Structures are given as C-alpha cells and as structure tokens.
Chains A and B, each alone.
Chain A
Amino acid sequence: MLEVEGITKAFPGVVANDDVSLTLNQGEIHCLLGENGAGKSTLVNMVFGLYRPDQGTIKVRGEEVHFEDSGDAIARGIGMVHQHFQLIPVFTVAENIILGNEVTKGAFLDLDSARRQIDSLAERYGLAVDPDATVGDLSVGEQQRVELVKALFRDADILILDEPTAVLTPGEVDDFFGVVESLTGQGKSIIFITHKLREVLAVADRITVLRAGQVVGTATAEGATQQSLANLMVGRDVVFRVDKAEADPGAPVLRTQDLRVADDRGVETVTGFDVEVRAGEIFGIAGVEGNGQRELVEAICGMRPTAGGRVEMLGQETTDWSPRKINELGVAHVPENRSKHGVVAQYTIADNLVLNRYHHRKFSQRGVRNTGAINAEAQELVEQFDVRTPGVDAVIDTLSGGNQQKVIVARELTGDLKALVVAQPTRGLDVGSIEFIHRKIIELRDRGVAVLLVSAELDEILSLSDRIGVLYRGRLAGTVNAADATREELGLLMATGSSEGQR
C-alpha cells in the first residue's frame, strides 16, 4: 500500500530522519517504535503531507507522490489521528468530521445527510459517536473515536495513529484494540506509533524501530520480546524491573483526614480522602484519570483550597497553607502539568532550577540575585541529573519533555526532603528517562522520605509502590500491599470501585 524509501528530513540543527525506509502492506498493522525525538512523528507527518521530505520518495499503491499539503494526502486515501487531537472543541462532532470535506445541498451545508453518513460509518466500524454532541464535552476516548471517524469519512485506507493509547485508560485501550482489529479486518492498513512495548507486542504484525532518526531494526511480532525491542530503542541494555529493597517504613509523615476538594467547576471531586504515608515508603495512588487525582495533589500541596477535612504533615496541620510554606517544611512536589506548573517556559534552565530557592541567602542577597551561585548550582544539578542541554543558560522551552522533567525532578529532589508528592512523573517520557526518574524516587525512599505517587500508568504504580491505594470517585476504594497486588485486582478496583466488581 505504502512504500517510503530513503527519506531524509533535516530541521535547523537536527537531522530528524536519516535515510528511513518503510513499507506497509494491505490489512497490516505496522508499529513504529522509538523514543521521544527518534523521528517517528516527523516521518508520518511527511507521509501525511504536513512536512515535505528533503530527499527520498513516497509511493502510495505503487505510485510516486509529492504532497503539497495534507489535502493531497487525504485525497490519496491517507488518514491520520494525531497525538494531540486536531479537533475544534466548540464545534459539534458532525461539523468536525465534515470540515474540509463538507457535505452540501446547493450552497449550504447539509448536516442531515452528514449525520446519516456518520451514523452508518460508526455502525460499520463499531465507533459509537453522537454527531450532534459538542466535541469539547466528550471524553478523551470519545474524541479519539471522532478522529477515527473523521479519517474514515474521507475514505482513508491507510490510517496513521500517532500514540493513540497515550491518553486512554486501560479499559479504553482494550476497546481501542478491538476497533483497530475490526479496521484491519475490513481491509484498512495501519501505521501505529507508540513507545509502549506491551502494546506493540499485542497488536503489531510488523515492527520498525527508529533511533535518532535512523531505522535500527525491523522485526515481526512473533520474533520480538519486550527486552529485545527496548534494547533496540534505547541502544543499550535496559533494566525493566526497578530494583529495590524491602521498604522500611518509619513514622507517619503525611496524613489526610476526610479531605474534600472541589474542582474548577465547583464540583467536589475529592470526597473524603484518608491516607497516611510513612517515612521511607512509597504510597502509590492508582485510578482512572478524573477521579480526583489532580484536585487531591493540588490541595495537599497548597495550590487549591480545600472544601473540608484536614491535611497534616510532620505532625502539624497544614490545611490550606501556601505552597511555599509547605515547601519549606521539606515537602517537594513534582506537578502533573509540566508546562503549566512545573517550569517557567521562557526562563533559563538555571533559573528554573532555583525557582523554589531563589530567595535563599545562598542565591540572593539584599534582593539581588547571585547569578554566579545560581549557575554553579545549576551546572552541578544538570550533571547530577543527566539533563541533556547545550548549557544552563538555555531557555527551558528548547528542551525535550524528558529533559524538562529531569530539570523539575532535579529542582524538587534537592534539599532536605521529608516528603515528596509526585504526579504522573514519567508521562510522555521515553524508556531511558523513565528508568532514571524511577531510580531517583527509589533512592529518596531509601533515604527515609515519604513518597506519595500519583500515576495513571498501572505499571509504574506496580513497580515503584510499597502500598497501593485506588482512587475511585474521590475516595480510596481500597488499599493493598504492592507485593500482593495484581493488575486484574487493581483494574477491577479502578473500574468499579470494588474488588468484587459490582457497581
């Protein structure tokens, strides 16, 4: 169906794709695997006409093509579901789907017949969508279905799915795989981009691994293992199991009692949360996103007013303290929203590294910053935390997500810590960075820090935590010892709030 031969694409300063070749057969799921920045997205953006290659050829059904824009690619039957959905939140589902390919009656839009076409597509491929719903009101899973229908509406036979599962809950991922199977069953061919190894092995027919813009290996699903793929991706042996000693918990450090918190709309999403995290243990909070995780973390760290209950740290009540006061107790926070709460995008790496300490005597005297001391400290942290950067005076926005996260972790993990609250610490990061950050968290625990870990990645929770609580509708549905926990049991708790599986 599709042949990519010897594609090279350079951006100022980087060669994103270097002589990359790839073929896609009809009815096949071809996985494109690689770390962040390996060039996966660049490659498919060229196939979809958003970028133009510097060298090399693209053939669709044996015919060489030169796309000027994605309209050309769409006309050749290529559809793409982007990692960040390309939807217009204030439009209805039908309007989003027909945009650019409008169904008309005379000079006017014909939304009635568009609706009928959408309904019939939805039925044929098992993609339930309501054409009249406003997209902004839909869940992430539903939005993804809209994206798929959008591509199918344009008669795409070649579907490019860019990290489609990154935003889905475990249950939604299973549904999604079902949809993918039914698509290939009806003759569609799929390029599936991901860096999750489990998924690759679950769905792929063939696998191409990219590293630093080059193809480093091609495999069939039968011959591959998670370990072999990971080694190919990273270019060295990857340790999967996080090695850690038995926890040695001490005194309680962080405690909440009947904590209640409201979200931005005023709806109470944390509805009576009790937890006790002790020194030297990692308490993992699992749960489907949107069950109050964000509000819980923000309330504990002083970023959001509580609506009731109390928070205690190190024996003092800290309910509704300011973030700085809580921070100065020795409580660090790695926030979920990296760009909004984690870094100041236009500041340098050095300034970002001292955001929580710039006012200390060491870094400023009489209201004047001591840039020498700040840069020296930054230099040391950059080396210690292996931040890949041209220098500490680079603007942090120029770094990759993984390196930005390392900067945040470096900043938060420095100092005399008693407790650490981390939310989604490795979201969107590649295998290498994940491994590194996990090791740091374990190190901290071994030094006697109490860690509260919130993550949507069940694997992360399972491999790091000593105890695991499942957050369901704003309260703990159950707490288990990590050693005894199984994916199945946790999955059931996450989905239904009860280990018996009744609602």
Chain B
Amino acid sequence: MTTVEHAVGATGASGRIGLNRQSITGLVFGLLGIALLAGVAPAISGNSRRFNFEPPPDPAGIGFHPPTWVVAIGVLFLLTAVLGFAPPEARRWASPARLLSALAVIPLLLVLSLALSDNPSTNIVNLFNESLVLATPLALGATTGLWCERSGIINIGIEGTMLAGAGIGYMTYATIGDAQSTGWLWFSILISVLAGGLVAALLAVLSIRFGVNQIVGGVVINLFALGLTGFLRSEVIVKTGITTGVGTSEFGLPLLSEIPVIGDQLFRGKPIYWMMYLVVIGTWLVMFRTPWGLRVRSCGENPHAAETLGVNVVRIRYQSVILGGLIAGLAGAWFSMESQTRFEDNMTNAAGFIALAALIFGKWTPWGAFGGALLFGFSRALGTRLQFLGVEVSGFEIPSEFLQALPFIVTLVVVAGAVGRSIPPAAAGQPFQRSK
C-alpha cells in the first residue's frame, strides 16, 4: 500500500501519471470494456434469451438480445475508465461510475452465462432468493465479527464457533428429540446459540484475561471445534442412529408473500433466515444508537480513552465477544437444523472465513457486512446455477469447480476496485491492560 500512496502523492503534486488504485481500476474497466465490445459481443450467439421471474410452466419474464446487453455494459465500462483519467472537474462522476460498473458485473455475468449456455432461459427472482438464503450464515458470521472487532478483539474463530453451534445443537436435537419434535428443535437451536456463546467466552478469556495473541486464540478455537464436533458426531450422533430429521419449516410473511409473481418466492422463508434480518437490524440499532453501543465502539478504537471516562473496557469486551458468539451459534443452527437437518464434519465449510471477508468488504459496518454477505451468497448461488446451465465456450464445457469459483473471483477483483480500502477499528487486536 505504501508504494501506491507515494504514487498518489506524485500525481497530485506534479500531474505526472502514477499508478494509483483509481487509475488501475480505470485501466481494468477500460480493458474489460474493449474486450466486451471487440471480442465478446461479436462472438456470442445473437439468439434471444429470457430472464424468467417465476418457475415454469408459462413464467412471466423478459426476453433480451445478449450482444446488445454486452455492448451496453462494455460502453459503461469504457466510460468509467475515461472518467478515471478525466480532468478534476469531471472526477466527481468517476466514483459513482465505478460503483455502477461494479454492480453491472452481476447482470453481465448472468447475460454471458445464459448466452453461452444451451438453455434459453433461467429464473432470476429465484436466483436472488437463493442468494439471500445462502447469505444467512455469512451475514450472521459477519455480525459476530462486527461485535468482536468493534470492541477490539479480532475473532478468526467464527468458523469454529459456528461449527460448535451446529454440532452441539444437532447432537441435542438427535439425542433428546429424536430429530423429530418441533419443541425440541427450538430447544436445540437455543442450545446451539448458547454453545456459540460458550466457545466465544473461551476466546474472550484467552485474549482478554490471559492476553493470548488473538489470531492464535482464534486458530485454537477453530481446531478445537473441529476436533470436538468430529468426536461428538462419531461417538454420540452416529450412535443414536438418527442421521437426519425434521428441520425448521418455511412460512410466508403476511401480505408481502401475497404479491403476485415474486411474493411467494421472495417472502417465504425459514425462521433463522428471518432472524438474520432481525440480528442485522438489531446490531445496527444497538451499536450505533445506544449508549452501550457507543461504549463498545470506543473500546475498539481507543480503549485507554474509554477507560479515562470510566468505561469498563474489560467488561464491555467480554460482553461483545460473547454476544458475537451467541450470533455465531445461531448461524451454526442454520447449518444443521435449517439448511439441512443433519450434522457432518466441517459442515460450515469456511463460511466463518468468508463472513470475515464480508465484514472487511463492508468496512466494519452492519449494512456493509450484510451487503458483503449478500454478494458472497450470490456468488455461491450463481456458481451452482452455472453448473445447471451447462456453460460451454466454443464447444468445450467448463468444469464445474471452475464455474463455482469464477463468480467469487470476478466479483472480488472488480469490487475491490470500487469499494476501496477499508480501515479496521484502530485498537482491534490490541490487548488492553488496565492501569494500576
């Protein structure tokens, strides 16, 4: 980053063209735009395609001509590139243009994959809904990270906390509810949440009480949870013989789910999914609108200043980390009792780490983190969708592993340019010693 900053300095001072982030982003968009206009648009099939808004038969939707869309988005990219190098008066348009271009990557991916596939249509409302559902554990995990880091504790143990919640919750459900009873299901979800809180409390004790390096503490949590849940699965869950059961069930929001075409797809969902929204909204309210939230944020920025004002930094940090753990426990319950009703080893499959990426991507704000989670949720949903569509490039079918990874790569690269640098809470990761 330092070299880049120096380059900015040089440009600002003398008008020499330096390679800063803006101009690199501009360059990337420029090259993409040229590639789209000159390479992609003429090459792809001119046959009309359709975006559907509901499942078959006879779905509503819109038809479109793929090359036209590719050209339009290509022109937008070129414009963004040009604005990046425009005289200062026009520069103020450069930043919104970058954002717009970054967002345009999503329709571009959809249009391209449909144009390259032998399917003439796909349901995009349903794709959007899948994105939201897959974003659930990511948004919850990112909120966990938000509470921890805003209070000054870096938590890379989110993954393990979720996994512990998933495993212990399902174990409870299988052993005492036979994975069949709704009452025990809710009890087990509560156990998941508490398990998450307990694991987080362990991290809190390690990092606050004993001043263990927080990264190391997080790694320990992840390894511990992996081992513990693996053990519980083979020794307890498997022995009950109950490998699956009845999970949470969908319900529709009143009124909203009655909206024609999209209502039934977007406003029906399962309870933990809906709770995710409540958690994000609640986090935003508590963190930014209440005295306690103000204190939490102060502990993550300058704990010594907080201390001089009589804020009990140690207590606040314990509270925030444990609150975060409870949320991660809920995310764990999503894996083993909502998304699926069973428990597998390493079931969370790096969701905790992707949640951290979403948090950073969202610049340590609740809505930004939610946006990041949504983006990664979309990437997952799209990756799966691309496999169904069977995308071919000049007769060669692209391997599914690559298709699953592709949306992540594209969105990350492009959006990194548009979102820019994010600055963590100043005291995140720093142990706090009370004055004596």
**6 pairs of A and B residues whose beta carbons are closest in the complex:** A71-B310, A266-B12, A100-B309, A262-B13, A307-B13, A102-B291
Is A88 in contact with B302, judged by CB distance below 8 angstroms? yes
- 8 Å CB interface, B1-54 against A: 5-6, 8-14
> Smallest distance from the beta carbon of B356 to chain A beta carbons, Å?
21
B426 interface residue (CB < 8 Å to A)? yes
Q: How far is B302's CA from A99's CA once the two chains are assembled, in angstroms?
A: 12
B308 contacts which chain A residues (CB < 8 A)? 48, 50, 70, 80, 82, 86
- Residues of A with C-beta under 8 A to B294: 95, 98-99, 102, 109
Bound-state Cα–Cα, A98 to B426, Å: 20
Known: A305-B6, A307-B13. A74 touches B309 (CB 8 A): yes
A70 pairs with B307, CB closer than 8 A:
yes
Residue on B nearest A52 in the bound complex, by CB: B436
Query: Given A100-B311, A109-B294, are A262 and B9 also a contact pair (CB < 8 Å)?
Result: yes
Chain B, interface size: which category?
Answer: 20 to 34
Number of interface residues of A (CB under 8 A): 43
Residue of A85, A88, A95 most packed against chain B (CB within 10 A): A88
Q: Which residue of B lies closest to A95 (CB)?
A: B294
Verify A99–B10 contact, CB threshold 8 A. Answer: no
Q: A70-B309, A99-B298, A308-B14 are in contact. Are A86 and B290 (CB under 8 A)?
A: no
Choose from A86, A87, A107, A305 the contact partner of B9 (Cβ within 8 Å).
A305
Q: Chain B binding site: helix, strand, loop or mixed by DSSP?
A: helix
**B290: which of A82, A87, A89, A108 is its contact (CB, 8 Å)?**
A108
Task: Kindly state whether residue B233 has any CB partner on chain A within 8 Å.
Answer: no
Q: Is the CB of A87 within 8 A of B302?
A: yes
Q: Considering the chains assembled together, what is the distance between the CA atoms of A72 and B435 in angstroms?
A: 14
By a CB distance below 8 angstroms, the chain B residues around A101 are 309-310
Chain A residues with Cβ below 8 Å from B426 are 89-90
CB neighbours of A305 from chain B (8 A): 6, 9-10
User: Chain A contact residues: over half helix, strand or loop, or mixed?
Assistant: loop
Residues in B neighbouring A85, C-beta threshold 8 A: 305
**In this assembly, does B295 line the interface, its C-beta being within 8 Å of a C-beta of chain A?**
yes
Q: CA of A264 to CA of B301 in the docked complex: distance in angstroms?
A: 23
Across the interface, which residues of A come within 8 angstroms of B311, CB to CB?
71, 99-100
CB–CB A262/B305 < 8 A = no
B268 CB-CB contact with A under 8 Å: no
Contact among B11, B305, B436 for A86, CB-based, below 8 A: B305
Question: Is there a chain A Cβ closer than 8 Å to B306's Cβ?
Answer: yes
Contacts of B309 in A (CB 8 A): 70-71, 74, 86, 99-101, 150
Q: Which residues of A have CB within 8 Å of B270?
A: none
Other-chain contact of A100, B285, B306, B435 (Cβ < 8 Å): B306
The answer to whether A70 and B302 have CB atoms under 8 Å apart is no
Which residues of chain A are within 8 angstroms of B306 by Cβ–Cβ distance?
Answer: 88, 99-100
B11 x A266 contact (CB < 8 A): yes
B290 A107 Cβ-Cβ under 8 A: yes
The residue in B290, B302, B307, B310 that gathers the most chain A C-beta atoms within 10 A of its C-beta is: B310
Interface string of B419-432 (1 = CB under 8 A from A): 00000001000000
- Point out the residues of chain B lying under 8 angstroms from A74, CB to CB: 309-310
> Would you give the shortest CB distance from A175 to chain B, in whole angstroms?
24
